[in-house]
Amino acid sequence: MRLNGLPSQCISSCHIRPGGNVDVAARIIAPGLEQEFGQPFVVDNRAGAGGLIAGEYVARSKPDGNTLFMAANGPLLFSPLIFNRPAYHWKEDFKPISTVSLTPMVLQGGRSLKQDSFEALIAYAKKNPGKLNMASPGAGTSNHLLSELLQRETGAKWTTVHYKGNAPATTDLLGGQVDFNFDQVSVALPFIKDGKLKPLAVTSEHRVPSLPDVPTLEEAGLKGMTAYTFTGLLAPKGTPDEVIQRISAALAKILSKPEIIEKFQQLGAEARSATPQEFQAYLQKEDARWVPIIRQAGITAQ
């Protein structure tokens, strides 16, 4: 099959976890891609090794636009280093197409946390190093790396408690076994709305519409401090530029539709497209920001 002289596109996309952030984002854009190109777009989840299984599969696929990698921070940038398995490198083995969504995180405390603001929490953690316990869904996750970055930037110190996933970390936070955590707004919002957790700050550039009373980290005094869990689409290295541009343009059209914007907003995320060049620059910046933290902190999944 050919499409206006170009190879058949967008037939398969690989992800890390059914029902997760990446999977949901893929299923939101898939119908629009099917409509734009007049052919199926199959969401093919390939779990394992922090997304390495999926990433490696796409990196080794034929670069014809038929198999794409729907990725996030972890599987694309962090997993090869954290798992000590250099199966691929984003710059050498993939061609960025476009971002799809950006989801900010929220610093939230349990009911037992005495501090009611980000400033108060940081001040306490500086005067009482290690006394507060922070729940992490796993070593090398975006949540964990943000925690490490904030400790480095503020001089605060707390004890990191790693869990095997976000669910048990949240359970212990709700139960009072730990004091606070960093979580995607999309996951945290129901607990915050129910009054079970209290938000202290969000990591977005601007306040989150669903949490209008919660300040950003920049408003709390950390200039330029933003952090997002992104989802984005990439193709194997060697995929023709015209194919990359066609898919990127289609995504820009899809992600500008009000109904698509609303679907992402309901998840606490922002629909955000980018040109291939913009996505490349974004990944370069994220790589330069987070990879040194992984190395300096000696973070591994072993």
End-to-end CA gap in the chain: 44
**Cβ atoms < 10 Å from Cβ of 256:** 11
pLDDT at 161: 96
113 and 86 in one domain?
no
Query: Residue 171's pLDDT is what?
Result: 94
How many folded domains does the chain comprise? Answer: 2
Residue 183 covered by a domain: yes
In a domain, 221, yes or no: no
Per residue of the chain (302 residues), what is the pLDDT tens digit?
223 333 333 333 444 445 567 888 999 999 999 999 998 888 888 766 667 888 899 999 999 888 999 999 988 999 888 888 888 999 999 999 999 999 999 999 998 899 999 999 999 999 999 999 999 988 888 899 999 999 999 999 999 999 988 889 999 999 999 999 999 998 898 999 999 999 999 999 999 988 999 999 999 989 889 999 999 999 999 999 999 999 999 999 999 999 999 999 888 889 999 999 999 999 999 999 999 999 988 888 76
Classify 218 as helix, strand or coil.
coil
Residue 183's domain comprises: 104-202
**CATH classification of the domain holding 157:** 3.40.190.10
Structure-token pair, residue 70: 């729907």
- Name the nearest CA neighbour of 29 among 104, 102, 100, 103: 100
Tell me, what's the pLDDT at 104? 94
Q: Please give the Cα distance from 62 to 157 (Å, whole number).
A: 47
| 181 found inside a domain | yes
Tell me, yes or no, whether 16 lies in a domain: yes
* Phi, psi angle pair for 270, to nearest 5°: -120, 125
What local confidence, expressed as pLDDT, does residue 297 receive? Answer: 84
CATH number reported for the structural domain that contains residue 53 in this entry: 3.40.190.150
pTM of the model: 0.84
Does 39 share its domain with 113? no
Distances (CA, A) of 213 to 162, 189, 216, 220: 29, 13, 10, 13
Q: Which residues of 68-86 are buried (b: 16+ CB within 10 A; e: fewer)?
A: bbbbbbbbbbbbbbbbeee
Please indicate, yes or no, if residue 62 is contained in any of the structural domains. Answer: yes
